Structure 1
Amino acid sequence: MSVAPSPQSSSNNESAGKQPTGNPPVFSPPGYFDALATRVLEGSPITREEALSILNASDLDVPAILAAGYRIRHHYFANSVQLYFLMSAKSGLCPEDCHYCSQSKVSEAPVPKYNILKRDDLMEAARVAAERGAKTYCLVISARGPNEREMKAVETIVPEIKQKYNLDICACLGLLDDDQAKRLKACGVDRVNHNLNSSESHYAKICTTHTYEDRVQTLRNVRDAGMEMCSGGIIGMGETKEDIVSMAFDLADLGVQSIPVNILNAIDGTPLEGTDAMSAQDALKSLAMFRFVNPDRELRIAGGRELHLRMLQPMGLYVANSLFVGDYLTTKGQAPQADYDMINDLGFDITGSCEEVSIDG
């Protein structure tokens, strides 16, 4: 099918989203984003140039971008919203130098520091996750990768949590070798989170103690072990728009099942302290771009949504279909009731696993 000309190729070359200083923003050609959505729904992926046109679009285009993205989201997930509960099972004490992270060795942020929690603490958190309507319990440790004691603790607790609370388990344990991935699969872990965090070209600017390829290899080990891959990133770390597009396409190429998109919370005491905040409009355009590039993947509005989207959080759910309910690793989320009210006010439904959602063919 034909697609409306991109903003960049319009005869009015000032219609390409963000305008040079002094020029007022204008709308993109009518129907452009809707035509892109139609093409995606017909099975034809968008190009990197078209993905970039979403990020470069004027803020005036945000309603049209979200409306087009909602068509894709609704086709695959209807109005369902899946909830995740995040548990920081080990905090601080990390030898890596990820510049965004308050738990890294280069951070001066005051964060709790403790080794992996005892069984009763992890079970109590699982109870809270089930009580809050979460389908997935995310077990997270701060580390380069799990040591043997931590592996055994996970192997022991996961079967008990699944048996008692019927929760899916997502483990976020750092870098994994193939044997560790197989052990996690054997004990009942459903998926592993390991974020790419940024593009390959930008990665060395935010971390030097491991590489982008190290992260990709962990995801390959997870996939080869038969678990689902949960991987996304952080936007607003000084990367270019091309970097954000590159990350979205890398995630599509890897075939990850779940994509959390964080918006940088520039925590005082970290190397990224003072980084200019991403606007709510740019965050919404980025979320929509991830939906266009990964149309049938679970897309989660993750850390930073309360800080950056604020009153526009409901708009993000027109393209994303999952949320964390409760707090993050070292920062607070909004009250769970506020999330429930937001979902209800949208007319959306909290659901179980994606496989249980009726897909509108």
Structure 2
Amino acid sequence: MAQLQTPSAPTINTPLPNWQHFADQALSGIPLTNQQALAVLQAPDTELLNQLAAAYRVRHHYWQNRVRLHYLLNAQSGLCPEDCHYCSQSKISTAEIDTYPLLAEEKILAAAAQAEQLKAGTFCLVLSGRSPSPKNFERVLSTIRTIKANHDLKVCACLGLLDESQAQALAAAGVDRVNHNLNTSEAHHGDICTTHTFADRATTINQVQKAGITTCSGGIIGLGESAQDVVDLALSLRALNITSVPVNFLIPIEGTPLAGQNTLNPRYCLRVLCLFRFLLPSQEIRIAGGREVHLRSLQPLGLYPANSIFVGDYLTTPGQAAQTDWQMIRDAGFVLEAADGTPLEAPLLMANNPPNSKQNL
């Protein structure tokens, strides 16, 4: 398995790029060359603030100082027949997680209400598994219709591999977006999953777009990929015209094949976010799973290239308290973005924290 290469500083005779020129290219619709893209990831730490400033210029052009919040519900956990090496829900995982079939509709609706309370604009409904059974798919469609009728939320559905008829049914039910991550580059995909292909994932994205639904797709950084794999992943997302891009950083969960994989540091993670902003200038870029683990005290800096985060917990791992996220957003001078796209101030700290996890659902 290829190992993530820790970027080394250039020699004293190597000229450093002008990162503002990279921003100029992004704003002009000109993609970085492969050499330029690799330079972003391989730059020395002394260049990080300059890279962030250039990436923020692009981010601010499209998103100003707004931050979107997404809320994630793992509505069906574990019991997955796929062998994704990073995933605690896969058939080859021995991780100790809660496993359960599709939640009852009232529990999903309670989670949607909680998403509104936490100021999220998008409710992300996730089911483990290769693809939903016909019975569960009909239940999901019914629940989505109820959410859309009763909550001011966008709905993003993550249901695994989908065919044309399923994508059309989701569109008819009012789904705003479908998530299906590419996860890594096409060249590296076979090293992390053998039960489906990179092409299978791309086909689902194409079916969703044909149905008129916008797409959410990103990847996981830290899977043992090379810097070139990271560049190729971003370029694949650009070629597929993805609208919303979650950038995850691997949490090496005990019981998964990648449990010992730990090659990331906060500065490299920030450079990845800068690269994604340069190559995907107008897209919503979300700092997703692993944000708290790998960015740590540098989390606020991630908001300069990225314009979106998850609030609350992730699929099988906890996130930080919503009030901590709100305070981070306020302290950095950003504002929240409501479901209708209008800006609103992040709530001030309160004496009683609002609920943050799904443990009572």
TM-score (norm 1): 0.91
Counterpart residue number, 1:82? 68
Which of 97, 113, 121 is residue 135 of structure 1 equivalent to? Answer: 121
SS at match of 1:159: helix
Q: Please state if 1:352 is matched with 2:342.
A: no
Indicate the larger mover: 29-38 or 166-175. Answer: 29-38
Counterpart residue number, 1:240? 226
Q: 1:252 to 1:167 in 2, by over 3 A?
A: same
Which AA in structure 2 matches 1:18?
A: S
Which AA in structure 2 matches 1:19?
A: A
1:164-179 matches, within 5 Å, as: 164-179=150-165
Q: Please state if 1:19 is matched with 2:9.
A: yes
Q: Please state if 1:98 is matched with 2:88.
A: no
Which AA in structure 1 matches 2:110?
A: E
d(CA) in 1 for partners of 2:101 and 2:13? 53
SS at match of 1:204: helix
Check the 8 A contact 2:79/2:91 in 1, yes or no.
yes
Q: CA deviation at 1:354?
A: 7.6
Which AA in structure 1 matches 2:308?
A: S
Q: Please state if 1:189 is matched with 2:179.
A: no
Sequence identity percentage: 49
Which of 267, 270, 282 is residue 256 of structure 2 equivalent to? Answer: 270
Q: CA deviation at 1:38?
A: 1.6
SS at match of 2:32: coil
Q: 1:32 to 1:91 in 2, by over 3 A?
A: same
Counterpart residue number, 2:184? 198
d(CA) in 1 for partners of 2:300 and 2:68? 14
Q: CA deviation at 1:353?
A: 4.2
SS at match of 1:205: helix
d(CA) in 2 for partners of 1:125 and 1:273? 30
d(CA) in 1 for partners of 2:316 and 2:16? 43
1:1-361 matches, within 5 Å, as: 18-19=8-9, 29=15, 32-353=18-339, 356=342
Q: Deviations over 1:171-194 (max 9, x none)?
A: 000000111111111111110000
Check the 8 A contact 1:27/1:60 in 2, yes or no.
no
Unaligned runs of 5+ residues in structure 1 are 1-16
Q: Deviations over 1:135-190 (max 9, x none)?
A: 00000000100111111111101111111111100000000011111111111111
Check the 8 A contact 2:9/2:42 in 1, yes or no.
no
d(CA) in 2 for partners of 1:39 and 1:248? 16
Which AA in structure 1 matches 2:264?
A: M
Indicate the larger mover: 337-346 or 268-277. Answer: 268-277
Check the 8 A contact 1:194/1:230 in 2, yes or no.
yes
d(CA) in 2 for partners of 1:286 and 1:138? 24
d(CA) in 1 for partners of 2:150 and 2:283? 28
d(CA) in 1 for partners of 2:340 and 2:290? 24
Which AA in structure 1 matches 2:122?
A: T
d(CA) in 2 for partners of 1:110 and 1:85? 23
Q: 1:28 to 1:66 in 2, by over 3 A?
A: farther
d(CA) in 2 for partners of 1:330 and 1:120? 21
Indicate the larger mover: 204-213 or 145-154. Answer: 145-154
Counterpart residue number, 1:9? none
Q: CA deviation at 1:315?
A: 0.3
TM-score (norm 2): 0.91
d(CA) in 2 for partners of 1:192 and 1:186? 13
Counterpart residue number, 1:6? none
Check the 8 A contact 2:88/2:253 in 1, yes or no.
yes
Check the 8 A contact 2:120/2:339 in 1, yes or no.
no
Check the 8 A contact 2:9/2:43 in 1, yes or no.
no
Q: CA deviation at 1:45?
A: 2.1
SS at match of 1:309: helix
Which AA in structure 1 matches 2:9?
A: Q
Check the 8 A contact 2:72/2:315 in 1, yes or no.
yes
d(CA) in 2 for partners of 1:246 and 1:356? 34
d(CA) in 2 for partners of 1:277 and 1:38? 31
Which AA in structure 2 matches 1:254?
A: L
Q: CA deviation at 1:44?
A: 2.1
d(CA) in 1 for partners of 2:342 and 2:213? 18
SS at match of 2:132: coil
